[in-house]
Amino acid sequence: MILDRTPFYAESGGQNADAGVIEFDGGSAEVLDVQRPLKGLVVHQIRVVDGELTLDADVRAKVDPEWRLGARQAHSGTHVVHAALRQVLGPTALQSGSYNRPGYLRLDFAWKGGLSQQERHDIEDVSNLAVRRDLPVTATYMPLPEARAAGAIALFGETYNPEKVRVVRIGPGQWSIELCGGTHVESSSQIGPLVVTGESSVGSSSAGSRR
């Protein structure tokens, strides 16, 4: 299904798509997935639960609020863990990928080897300290050169619009400032506790990627 406008977040930047329903006269459909196959085009994969859906029908698209809250927590949590990782290991420990959904996040990063037990413990401690401090989470739009000058991390190279990018900042200064189009909480305490449950290598060499 393609709508003229939608409140649903399409899977992007490691964040899973929103869940919810689309209601229409005499029925409803469950939203199974939301993707952007082309720039500017949002496609909803749906399963009609009741009624018969017709072309050009008036519909009401409703995001599941609990799903969205969980997705916001996980995505902001990814930013916090990334900042903690860089604080513990140094600025060269940069995110190379991620995946987050309600209740779960995974951060991929390039590093020279496995983390020690102390390093994992420190990353978890720094992350949860940021949560407890209830740091503000803000999103602003600005030109790409201005964002880079402010210290924003741009993880996806040349994919950004140089005229306007979205900058998500957690806390003061440059502790966590990244270009990001995902959904986020309003303050870090809303993320909840963060626990490092495991680490593994996805590279073939000692300088390969970790997760």
pLDDT at 209 over 60: no
pLDDT at 203 over 80: no
- DSSP secondary-structure letter at 187? B
- DSSP secondary-structure letter at 51? S
The matching CATH number, chosen from 3.40.47.10, 3.40.920.10, 3.30.70.250, 3.30.980.10, for 67-210 is 3.30.980.10
* Tens-digit pLDDT profile for residues 83-132: 999 999 999 998 888 999 999 999 998 888 889 999 999 999 999 999 99
Domain with CATH 3.30.980.10 in the chain: 67-210
Give Cβ neighbours of residue 188 (< 8 Å, ≥ 6 apart). 76, 80, 130, 131, 133, 134, 135, 136, 137, 170, 171
> Would you call 28 helix, strand, or coil by DSSP?
strand
Average pLDDT of 43-67? 96
Mean pLDDT (the chain, rounded): 91
